[in-house]
Amino acid sequence: MSSYRAYICYTRADEAAAGNLRRALTRFSPGVGPSSDPDQSAATTIGPILTKRLDAAPLGATTRFDIEASDHLILVCSLAALTKAMEEAAMIFKAKGRGHRVIPVITAGEPGASRVSGLKQLECLPRALRFAVDASGSLTDHAVTPRIVDLRPDGPGRDSAVADIAARLTGKPIAVFQKVAHNRRRKRAFLSGAVAAAALIALTIMPVLQKDMETAADITAAREAGLAAHLALDEGRPAEAARLLTTIFPQTFDFAAPPFLAAG
């Protein structure tokens, strides 16, 4: 049995994208699958997931061990991903017949561009992902087209990309995770409107509220709570954002949250 659900490898240029991807994947864990079935719930828990920035080849013994101990390998690919270290990570899986468990996540560039005259500089996939291996586990010159996940700004969107990855990691139908993503988009949309309403209220009645606040510290705390609410909303924690907003406007901002916000 593998020690890790997935191992995310990336280069310095994609460090932020890799961190965001890991957080987004782990947030799919709660509530996925029937809670009354412990085995089913365990099977749909997305984790543990390791991340590792690959700066140079050859890879260290610990890194190689952790990659080999993972169910899946996620390679965050951009124009900066054409390195020997990323190549080596991919070959650890492909040489052992586990190429189907390598998930290339594209953040920039064009996969397969190296095959098109004049576009080679846009290639974002390491060579190990673009060619097949033979029976001995050695890379050949036979070109293949891996199944990618598009996380580029002009792609299908982060929610769709993360749902695709989550389905591949768990073996569950993608529709399960698309439903989770849809519900969270509804939450974000609702809270976005709530935050906007709260901001408008703040502009109009803050002078009145400040009179009720006993000290400058109270005013500062309210402002900090507002910033924290925005951050919670951006990070996909709508229930926390709502709680913070009600601390700023306990009387004025008292809305009835719809049922889909109950899970937070």
**Measured between alpha carbons, how far is 44 from 29 in angstroms, rounded to an integer?**
7
| Selection from 45, 17, 18, 27 nearest residue 180 by Cα | 27
Determine the pLDDT at residue 39. Answer: 38
Residue 132 has pLDDT above 80, yes or no: yes
* 196-220 pLDDT tens trace: 566 555 545 555 555 555 566 666 7
Place of tokens 């799919």: 28
> Greatest CA separation found in the chain?
77
Q: Which residue has the tokens 């049922």?
A: 259
| Residue-averaged pLDDT of the chain | 79
Rounded (10°) CA dihedral 60, 14, 149, 86: -30
Model confidence band, residue 227 (pLDDT cutoffs 50, 70, 90): confident
- The pLDDT confidence band at residue 159, using thresholds 50, 70 and 90, is confident
pLDDT per residue as tens digits for the range 183-192? 666 666 665 6
Q: How far separated are the first and last CA of the chain, in Å rounded?
A: 33
Residues 66-89 as b/e (b if ≥16 CB within 10 A, e otherwise) read bbeebbbbbbbbbbbbbbebbbbb
Average pLDDT estimate for 125-149? 94
CA 258, 185, 173, 9 torsion-angle sign: negative
Q: Answer for the pair 65, 37: CB distance below 8 angstroms, yes or no.
A: no
Tokens of 2: 């593998």
Which pLDDT belongs to residue 20? 93
Distances (CA, A) of 25 to 85, 93, 165, 185: 24, 21, 8, 15
The mean pLDDT value for 90-118 works out to: 95
Reported as a single tens digit per residue, the pLDDT across 43-92 is 446 889 999 999 999 999 999 999 999 999 999 999 999 999 999 999 99
Residue whose pair of structure tokens reads 């060579």 in the numeric block? 127
What is the C-alpha to C-alpha distance for residues 86 and 76, in angstroms, rounded to an integer? 9
Confidence of residue 161 (pLDDT cuts 50, 70, 90): very high
Residues above pLDDT 90, as percent of the chain: 49
Q: What is the pLDDT of residue 55?
A: 92
- Provide the percentage of residues in the chain whose pLDDT is more than 70: 66
